[in-house]
Amino acid sequence: MEPELIVNVLLTIATASTPLLIAAMGELVVERSGVLNLGVEGMMVVGAVCGFGGAALSGNPWLGVLAGVCGGVLASLLFGVLTLSIATNQVATGLSLTLLGLGVSGLLGESFVGQAGTKLSAVDLGPLSDLPIIGRLLFGQDPLFYISLLLVAVVSWVLFRTRAGLILRAVGDSHDSAHALGISVVKIRYAAVAFGGACAGLAGAHLSLVYTTQWVENMTAGRGWIALALVVFASWRPWRVLAGAYLFGGVTIGQLHAQAFGVAVPSQLLSALPYLATIVVLVLISRNRRLTLLNTPACLGQPFVPHR
Amino acid sequence: MAFELVKRPMPSRLFAALSPLIAFTLTLLAGALLFQLQGVDPISGLYTYFIEPLTETWSLHELAIKAAPLILIAVGLALCYLSNNWNIGAEGQFILGGIVGSALPVLFPAFANSATLPTMLALGALGGACFALIPAYLKNRFNTNEILTSLMLVYVAQLLLDWLVRGPWRDPAGFGFPQTRAFGDFALLPAINDAAGRAHWGVAFAVIAALALWWLLRSTRTGFEIRVVGASPRAGAFAGFSEKRLTLFVFAVSGGLAGLAGIIEVSGTIGQLQPAISPGYGFTAIIVAFLGRLNPLGIVAAGTVLALTYLGGEAAQMSLGLSDKAVRVFQGLLLFFVLATDTLIHYQLRRSGDKHGA
């Protein structure tokens, strides 16, 4: 293959992987705090419609990004109020957030369907970006690509190298002990949930401002769920999420190229590959029950009601 | 915070009965607000949505047609959720039931006699059950999260259906439209009372399934096991109940019912396979299951309410020019409110600082 073609493939893989990475990074922090938010898909699709709308109405894609983040945070706080303040079942509430998010985004985005969007333009560092081969890969991608990598580094550092990270993990592993130490479990979890919402919203905005610059109903197409699977796959470790996201981006783009090259397999079956790959990967990673138990935040999914 | 939650010594029976009603009222209020925002008079909006479909015979039939699949799927899901098995892939099981059941009239149109329809229904249920057993088996054997696997299989089922109706199963005489040949009379589920409206025998299946599962949960050992394992897996283990066997059972039942609903929809309402055979019944049924308090009889009522939102959505789109997208918002809000008010069953709200009972 020509180097030019390889560069193009790698660039598309990065673009396909970035939203998965951002959303999964947010969910990782949420789950580390002991909360299982199954509403990633819903928050992401709200982020996508807010991102598209914000950019279309203001003409500035960065305001779109901001709107996407705000949409994600608002959606996540809805989940937070229910699960954290009034202790509802997290699985059911997360599901309802996804259903509500899909509905609300469909309604909000009705006038955007078929409208041309605004693209968040790629970084241009002049001569650096013009370097052969590595120029576009390292210095010429969309800004959210760099933010996603930064996010991995920052989350990893905060979680394992700072006091705040220690507190977050303590809350996720034993909320009763954390409460006894005087840590406000509910406040920490609110912060984590809001961070997860911001990330999911940002990931959604990436979909409607970078990946495809248009609004299509249900455009997340299960990516929020794949992000959830990535967190399990990564056994709640940030750098493994990075690897997982790029693996899935690779599968997604690989099947698209296979379709373009006219491989003698029906396109629908190729399109099913990322979903099937998710199942296979989950099976491989979960089969060691002891290791899974060891890695899972011990209080994941359990409601916490402070008592005096 | 201005209030705190205090656990009740016993779940409140009052709020167990009231919470779906409170949730529905809150949804109506939110709906009124939504109408107001869209510049529609809230009263006439709510009337069109929730009352008008109940005033004519033909629309009551349509209501039954939409409630049937919701009830069939939701009673199965209730078994799953009661036993802590999170099957959220009913949409996929519904589609697969539609596909497998349709194999007979599509591939063997010459096989047309009184055995055709029963065979199709059995195949549909079998297809849905087998599809649901995949996440159940993976959960038992490899400890895989069933929420994620069952959901991923929804996309696989949708793509499979899309491929079949555009590819190998496309009607050769269909001018290239992505649909299978129209089913013959023997492959169509007849209406209960042709003169009155379209409601077909699937409605009867839904009621029978609800009654059967109500009885199963209430009066059989399996039902008891489901409730014990759901309330406390440890207690179930001490009692010698096999959680794995139960997981296979509830997934098979719920997948089978979803598959049955799928083939009923295809043979009773649509009459052929097409790229989309469900307006999200499998997901809406999750809301139905919770609104019905995971009780099969409650689910019959809840399924009717949710069917009403579909019907009201169509009516409001035609007569008021409201977006049909509002339906999904209503449904999502309803589930949110149900879950929120459910808290009152197990907890009391107290003003912070009030030391009574603390």
Residue A271 CB contacts under 8 Å (≥ 6 apart), including other chains: A255, A259, B159
The reply to whether residue A86 touches residue B142, judged by beta carbons under 8 angstroms, is no
B95 touches chain A (CB under 8 A): no
SS3 A89: coil
pLDDT of amino acid B41: 86
The reply to whether residue B332 touches residue A104, judged by beta carbons under 8 angstroms, is yes
The reply to whether residue B152 touches residue A292, judged by beta carbons under 8 angstroms, is no
State how far residue A128 is from chain B, nearest Cα, in angstroms. Answer: 41
The reply to whether residue A306 touches residue B4, judged by beta carbons under 8 angstroms, is yes
The pTM (predicted TM-score) of the whole model is 0.90
List, in sequence order, every residue forming a beta bridge with B3; answer none if it has no partner.
Answer: B351
Please say if the pLDDT value at position A262 is more than 80.
no
Q: Which residues in A lie closer than 8 A to residue B167 (C-beta atoms)?
A: 266
pLDDT of amino acid B358: 38
CA distance B22 to B15: 9
The reply to whether residue B159 touches residue A271, judged by beta carbons under 8 angstroms, is yes
Chain segment B257-301, per-residue pLDDT in tens: 999 999 999 999 999 999 999 988 999 999 999 989 899 999 999
Mean pLDDT of the A93-110 span: 92
Q: Which residues in B lie closer than 8 A to residue A266 (C-beta atoms)?
A: 163, 167
Residues 272-311 of B with CB under 8 A from A: 283, 286-287, 290
B91 touches chain A (CB under 8 A): no
State how far residue B112 is from chain A, nearest Cα, in angstroms. Answer: 31
The reply to whether residue B152 touches residue A222, judged by beta carbons under 8 angstroms, is yes
Mean pLDDT of the A54-64 span: 93
Q: Which residues in A lie closer than 8 A to residue B330 (C-beta atoms)?
A: 103
B148 touches chain A (CB under 8 A): yes
Task: Using CB atoms within 10 Å of the CB of residue A237, give its burial: 0 to 12 exposed, 13 to 18 middle, 19+ buried.
Answer: middle
State how far residue B339 is from chain A, nearest Cα, in angstroms. Answer: 6
CA distance A174 to A192: 16
The gap from C-alpha A250 to its chain's centroid, in whole angstroms, comes to 16
Mean pLDDT of the A204-222 span: 92
Q: At what angle do helices A185-206 and A61-80 cross, to 10 degrees?
A: 140
The reply to whether residue B340 touches residue A82, judged by beta carbons under 8 angstroms, is yes
CA distance B214 to A276: 35
Which member of A82, A278, A307 has the closest CB to residue B339? A82
User: In chain B, which residue's Cα lies nearest the Cα of A293?
Assistant: B143
Q: Which residues in A lie closer than 8 A to residue B325 (C-beta atoms)?
A: 103, 106-107, 110
B26 touches chain A (CB under 8 A): no
The reply to whether residue A305 touches residue B347, judged by beta carbons under 8 angstroms, is yes
The reply to whether residue B148 touches residue A228, judged by beta carbons under 8 angstroms, is yes
B33 touches chain A (CB under 8 A): no
Chain segment A106-137, per-residue pLDDT in tens: 999 988 888 888 888 887 777 777 777 777 77
Please say if the pLDDT value at position A145 is more than 70.
yes
Please say if the pLDDT value at position A284 is more than 60.
yes
Residue from B84, B85, B144 to probe the interface with A (highest A Cβ count within 10 Å): B144
Q: Which residues in B lie closer than 8 A to residue A276 (C-beta atoms)?
A: 152, 156
Q: Which residues in A lie closer than 8 A to residue B165 (C-beta atoms)?
A: none
Residue from A95, A98, A184 to probe the interface with B (highest B Cβ count within 10 Å): A95
B1 touches chain A (CB under 8 A): yes
Which member of B142, B155, B286 has the closest CB to residue A275? B155
Which member of B88, B143, B332 has the closest CB to residue A289? B143
Give long-range contacts, CB 8 A cutoff, 24+ apart: B348-352. Answer: B348/B5, B348/B6, B348/B7, B348/B8, B349/B3, B349/B4, B349/B5, B349/B6, B350/B3, B350/B4, B350/B5, B350/B6, B351/B2, B351/B3, B351/B4, B352/B1, B352/B2, B352/B3, B352/B4
Which member of A38, A87, A107 has the closest CB to residue B329? A107
CA distance B139 to B143: 4
How far lies B295's CA from each of A99, B13, B71, B151, B214, in Å?
22, 14, 11, 23, 7
Which member of A93, A266, A292 has the closest CB to residue B167? A266
Task: Using CB atoms within 10 Å of the CB of residue A135, give its burial: 0 to 12 exposed, 13 to 18 middle, 19+ buried.
Answer: middle
Q: Which residues in A lie closer than 8 A to residue B153 (C-beta atoms)?
A: 275, 279
The reply to whether residue A86 touches residue B340, judged by beta carbons under 8 angstroms, is yes
Task: Using CB atoms within 10 Å of the CB of residue A143, give its burial: 0 to 12 exposed, 13 to 18 middle, 19+ buried.
Answer: middle
Q: Which residues in A lie closer than 8 A to residue B4 (C-beta atoms)?
A: 306
Given a contact cutoff of 8 angstroms between Cβ atoms, the answer to whether B299 and B82 are in contact is: no
The reply to whether residue A279 touches residue B327, judged by beta carbons under 8 angstroms, is no
Give percent helix, percent strand, percent coil of chain A, each to the nearest 5: 75, 0, 25
Size of interface A-B (CB pairs under 8 A): 137
The reply to whether residue B138 touches residue A106, judged by beta carbons under 8 angstroms, is no
Please say if the pLDDT value at position A267 is more than 70.
yes
Q: What's the token pair of residue B280?
A: 């999200």
pLDDT bucket at A33, cuts 50 / 70 / 90: very high
- What is the ipTM for the molecules in this complex? 0.88
The reply to whether residue A99 touches residue B153, judged by beta carbons under 8 angstroms, is no
CA distance B53 to B59: 6
Closest CA to A302 of A179, A198, A200, A163: A179
User: In chain A, which residue's Cα lies nearest the Cα of B84?
Assistant: A91
pLDDT of amino acid B357: 43
* Residue ranges in chain B assigned as alpha helix (H): 13-37, 42-46, 57-82, 90-107, 116-142, 146-166, 202-219, 221-231, 233-238, 243-264, 281-291, 296-320, 326-346
b/e A3-39 (16+ beta carbons within 10 angstroms → b): eeeebebbbbbbbbbbbbbbbbbbbbbbbbbbbbbbb
User: In chain A, which residue's Cα lies nearest the Cα of B358?
Assistant: A308
The reply to whether residue A93 touches residue B144, judged by beta carbons under 8 angstroms, is no
List, for chain B, all residue ranges whose pLDDT scores fall below the cut of 50.
356-358
The reply to whether residue B4 touches residue A96, judged by beta carbons under 8 angstroms, is no
B149 touches chain A (CB under 8 A): yes
